[in-house]
Structure 1
Amino acid sequence: MGEALELTILMPCLNEAETLASCIEKAKTYLARSGVAGEVLVADNGSTDGSQALAEASGARLVIAEQRGYGAALASGIAAARGKFVIMGDADDSYDFANLDAFMNELRRGADLVMGDRFAGGIAPGAMPWHHRYIGNPLLSFVGRLFFKTPVHDFHCGLRGFSRAAIADLNLRTTGMEFASEMVVKATLSHLDIREVPTVLRPDGRSRQPHLRSFRDGWRHLRFLLLFSPRWLFLYPGLFLLTVGLVFSSMLVSGPVRIGTVTLSVHSLLVASLCVIMGTQSIAFAIIGRRFASRYGFIPRSGVYDRVLENLTLERLLLLAILLMTAGLAAMGWGTWEWAKRDFGPLTSTATLRALILAMTALVTGFQLMMSAFMSSMINIPIYERRLADQVIPDDRFHRTDPD
C-alpha cells in the first residue's frame, strides 16, 4: 500500500501526447511550490499515441482504465488515488495545474466538492465555442440548478477538487461525459458541502479535434438530469395534465361551455379525458421511478418521498383502481343501455357520448393505476431476503428415534 498523501492531481487521458507532459510539469511545479504532499496520477483510457510512456517518463503515476469513457477513466483514477483530496482536470492544457491554491484552501476548510467557475474566472478567446459558452453550458447549468437546487453555476467545468472519501461514498455509476453532472447532482442530493472558485479557461494545446461532441454529449447530460429527477420528468408534467383534464372535464360534463367566441363541447371533453389518462400515467411513472432510484442507490433516499411511498400501498392503490373501474363499468352499462334503446343505431345524444367518454376514462385510468401499483410493489420486494429454496434444511434422518 502506498504512502498516504494529502493530494492527488488526477488527469484522465486519451491520446494527449501533445499536452500531457506540460500538464504534468505544471502539476509538479504546484506541489513543489506549495509544499503539499501529493502525487500526479494519469488515468489512461486506451491511448495509442504514446501517452502512457510519456506520463511515466514525466514523473506521473499511471493507472490503466480498462473500460472506455471519460467517467470510467475518472472512476479508475479516483479508486487508485492515494491522496486525501483529489483535484481533477483535463490533460489538454486548458487549465493551469500550477495554480491550484484556491481549490486546496477550500478543501482544507472543510469543503467536500470545490467546483471551478469558468464564467467567473474568465474564458480566453477561442477557449470555448460560442454555442457552448452562450447556450449549452448556461442552459444545462440552469436546468441543474432548477431541478436539484445546487449552488453550482458552471456544471461542466473540468477542473474540480473534492474529498476522495466523500465522493467515493456517492457510488458514481456513469461512464461517459455525464459523469461530471452525476458528481454534482449526487453531491447536492447528499447534502455535501459544495463551493466554487473562479477558474480561467484557456485554449487547449491540441492540434486534433476534442473528444467532446457538442450535441451528443449535451443530450447525454440533459438526459441524465431528467432521469435523475422523476419530479421534473414525470411528476410535474403529470400533475399539470391531470389538473387541466379534471378542470375541463368538470366544466364540460354537464354540457357545452362558451369561452369568448369559442364553444367547447364533447370533442373538448375527449381531449380533457386524454389529459387525465396521460397525467395519471405520468404520476404513476414518477412514483415508480422514485421508488426504483431510491431503492437501488441512484438517488439518495428522501424522508418526504419515503413517507409518501409508504402510504401508497398496493392495497390502497388497488382499492382506488377498483372504484374507478367499477364507476367506469357502471357508466358504460348505462351508455350501452341507452344505445340499445336506439336499436344500436347512431348515438346522436351528446349526453350519452359524455357518459361513454367518462366511462372509458375511468376504466383506462383504473387499469393503469392497478398495473402501476403492482409494478411499484415488485420494485419494493426485499433484495437480500433469502428464498426458502436457498436455505439449508437440516437432514435429521440420523438423529430421530425410531419407535421400532
Structure 2
Amino acid sequence: MKTNQATHSCELSIVMPCLNEAETLASCIHKARGFLERNQVEGEIVVADNGSTDGSQDIARSHGARVIAVTEKGYGSALMGGIRAAHGKFIIMGDADDSYDFAKLEGFISELQKGADLVMGNRFKGGIIDGAMPPLHKYLGNPVLSGIGRLFFRSPINDFHCGLRGFRRESILALDLHTSGMEFASEMVVKATLNGLRITEIPIVLHPDGRSRAPHLRSWRDGWRHLRFLLMYSPRWLFLYPGLFLIGLGLMLQLLLLPGPVKIARLTLDIHTLLLSSCALILGVQTVTFAVLAKKYAINTGLLPHDHRFVQLIDKITLEKALVFGLATIFMGVFLIIYGIYQWYQTGFGELVSGYMMRILIPAVTMLAVGFQIIIASFFSGILNLKNQKES
C-alpha cells in the first residue's frame, strides 16, 4: 500500500502503540477523546495493536478507538502501522501506559498549526513525577543518549526518547523510517534533523506507569540499540574522527622517532613505539576510508540526505587520481625496502643493527599497506558509482 497516498479525513489522529495494555488503555482513550471534544478538534484515536492477548483490542473498540492490527513485532513497527493507517493531517503519538496525559495536548496541536513538522515533548523541562522514570534512565541513559544525538547531528532536541510527540503525517512518512524497535524514537528525531524539518520542543509532565506489570523497555538492551543507531547514522563520529586521530597520532610518532630514540623524563620511546605508530597510521587510513565509503553508500541509497559539499569533494577525487596516489605510496615503500636490502648488501648480507634497519622497514611496510588500502578503497568507491552512472 502506498502510504503517502492515504486520504486525510480529519485534522488529528492520536496514535497509541499497544501490547497488552488492558489496565491503562481505557484511561488513555478517555483522556484523548476528552481533549478532542473540549478543543473541538476533528480527530480520531488509533490503537496500533502489536498482538495483545489480554483483550486490549475489545477495550479499545468499546471506547470508540479504531484498532489497527500490526503483525510485525516491535515498538517502531506498531507505531509505523498506526501512522500509515491514520487519517489525520497531524498525528500525536504516545504510549498507552498512562504515563502521558492525553488530556493536555494543546501545546502539540498549537505548534503543529503554526507550521512545525515535529513537536517533541520534553519531560525534563515539564517535570518527572517521583517514580515515573528509573534513576538509571533519568540521570544516565536519557541525558547521555540525548547529548550524543545533539553532538552528532546538531539536533535542537533535549529529550530524544520522549514517547509523546506530534508531527505532520506526510513529513514523517517522507523520512522512510525503518527501525522496528525502541530505537524508532531516535530514528525519527535524527532523520527529521538531517532532512531539515522544522522541529520544536514543549515541556510535558511524565507520570508513573499505570500498569502493574513490568514495562516492555529493557534498559541496557534498548539503550545499546539507541546508541548503535546513532553511531551507524554518523560516519563522521563512528569512522572519520577516530580515523583522523589515529592518523595524526601515528604520523606524529613516526616523525618523532624515525631519527632515533626519544627520552621523556625517565621514559624512553624507541623502535617498539615506532611499530605501534605504524599500526595506528594504517588503522587510521582504513577507518577514514570507511567513513568516506559509508557516507557515500548512505547517500546513494537514501539513508542519509544529499550532502552537496561532500559530493563535490568526492567527485574531485577520481578513481585515476586515487590510483596514482596509492601507487606512488607503494612505490615509496618499495624504494625504502630496496634501500634496506642495499644496506644489508653493504654488510655482505651479514648481521645488521636492528634498530637502524627497523627504522627503514617500518615506514616501508606502512607505505605499502596504506598504498594498497587507497587502491582497493578507490575501486570500491568506483563500484558505488556504478548505480548512479547507470541511472544517469
TM-score by length of 1: 0.93
Query: Out of 215, 235, 239, which is 1:234 matched to?
Result: 239
Please say if 1:145 is aligned against 2:153: no
Matches of 1:347 and 1:100, distance apart in 2: 80
Matches of 1:384 and 1:107, distance apart in 2: 40
In the other structure, the counterpart of 1:400 is: none
Query: Out of 330, 335, 343, which is 2:335 matched to?
Result: 330
The answer to whether the 8 A contact 2:8-2:89 is kept is: no
Matches of 2:47 and 2:389, distance apart in 1: 38
State the secondary structure of the residue aligned to 2:78: helix
Matches of 1:349 and 1:3, distance apart in 2: 77
Query: Out of 54, 57, 72, which is 1:52 matched to?
Result: 57
Q: CA deviation at 1:345?
A: 4.8
Change (3 A) 1:37 1:269: same
State the secondary structure of the residue aligned to 1:361: helix
Q: CA deviation at 1:340?
A: 4.3
Matches of 2:304 and 2:140, distance apart in 1: 28
In the other structure, the counterpart of 1:281 is: 286
User: In the alignment, residue 269 of structure 2 is paired with which amino acid?
Assistant: L
In the other structure, the counterpart of 2:178 is: 173
What is the aligned length? 387
Matches of 2:209 and 2:51, distance apart in 1: 21
Where in structure 2 are the equivalents of 1:214-253 lying within 5 Å?
214-253=219-258
Of stretches 278-287 and 306-315 in structure 1, the one that deviates more from structure 2 is 306-315
Change (3 A) 1:121 1:57: same
In the other structure, the counterpart of 1:107 is: 112
Query: Out of 43, 46, 52, which is 1:41 matched to?
Result: 46
Q: CA deviation at 1:336?
A: 2.6
Runs of 5+ in structure 1 lacking a partner?
Answer: 387-404
The answer to whether the 8 A contact 2:16-2:94 is kept is: yes
In the other structure, the counterpart of 2:312 is: 307
TM-score by length of 2: 0.95
In the other structure, the counterpart of 1:393 is: none
State the secondary structure of the residue aligned to 2:58: helix
User: In the alignment, residue 37 of structure 1 is paired with which amino acid?
Assistant: E
In the other structure, the counterpart of 2:10 is: 5
Query: Which entry has the higher C-alpha Rg, 1 or 2?
Result: 1
In the other structure, the counterpart of 2:3 is: none
Q: CA deviation at 1:348?
A: 1.9
User: In the alignment, residue 226 of structure 1 is paired with which amino acid?
Assistant: L
Q: CA deviation at 1:369?
A: 1.4
User: In the alignment, residue 205 of structure 2 is paired with which amino acid?
Assistant: V
Q: CA deviation at 1:200?
A: 0.4
Matches of 2:7 and 2:59, distance apart in 1: 22
Q: CA deviation at 1:344?
A: 4.8
Query: Out of 347, 366, 382, which is 1:361 matched to?
Result: 366
Of stretches 376-385 and 141-150 in structure 1, the one that deviates more from structure 2 is 376-385
In the other structure, the counterpart of 1:74 is: 79
The answer to whether the 8 A contact 1:347-1:353 is kept is: no
Q: CA deviation at 1:2?
A: 6.4
Change (3 A) 1:346 1:87: farther
Runs of 5+ in structure 2 lacking a partner?
Answer: 1-5
Q: CA deviation at 1:78?
A: 1.0
Q: CA deviation at 1:191?
A: 1.0
Matches of 2:102 and 2:76, distance apart in 1: 20
Deviations 1:149-189 (A, max 9, x none): 10000000000000111111111111111010000001111
4+ aligned runs moved over 4 Å, structure 1: 340-346
Matches of 2:183 and 2:127, distance apart in 1: 23
Change (3 A) 1:2 1:364: closer
Q: CA deviation at 1:261?
A: 2.8
- Calculate the aligned-residue CA RMSD, in Å: 1.6
Where in structure 2 are the equivalents of 1:23-34 lying within 5 Å?
23-34=28-39
State the secondary structure of the residue aligned to 2:133: coil
Deviations 1:204-240 (A, max 9, x none): 1111111100000000000000000000000001111
Q: CA deviation at 1:313?
A: 2.1
Of stretches 217-226 and 372-381 in structure 1, the one that deviates more from structure 2 is 372-381
State the secondary structure of the residue aligned to 1:42: strand
